[in-house]
Amino acid sequence: MATLTTETLIKTQVIQKAWEDPEFRARLLADPKSALRDAFGIELPDHIRLTAVEESANDFYLVIPPNPSDIIPKAERITIEPAAMWGTGG
């Protein structure tokens, strides 16, 4: 069984609340830091920017994370072959 990270658990809780509570979803989209603070007690530092967007049937968002070379030492990096990741390999 896979272990979920704290970040994944929080994201799951926020998404579930947004699906179930239209008022929270509207607040999350308008002012995500305040919405998280009020609903979950999560206080993000001032230097952190947080943007919430809502996908639809026709709108999708691809998030490009920070470059690993900026945050992970080279000796600790792993390589993932795209074919293995997407199941397209032989």
Range of 17's domain?
A: 6-86
Percent of the chain with pLDDT over 70: 76
Mean pLDDT for 44-48 is: 94
Task: Tell me the DSSP string of the chain.
Answer: -PPPPHHHHHHHHHHHHHHH-HHHHHHHHH-HHHHHHHHH-----TT---------SS------PPPHHHHS-GGG-----HHHHHT---
Within a domain: 28: yes
Quick check: pTM over 0.85? no
Mean pLDDT for 71-75 is: 67
Task: Give the pLDDT confidence score for residue 81 in this predicted structure.
Answer: 63
Task: Give the pLDDT confidence score for residue 29 in this predicted structure.
Answer: 98
Within a domain: 1: no
Mean pLDDT for 64-74 is: 75
Within a domain: 81: yes
Within a domain: 13: yes
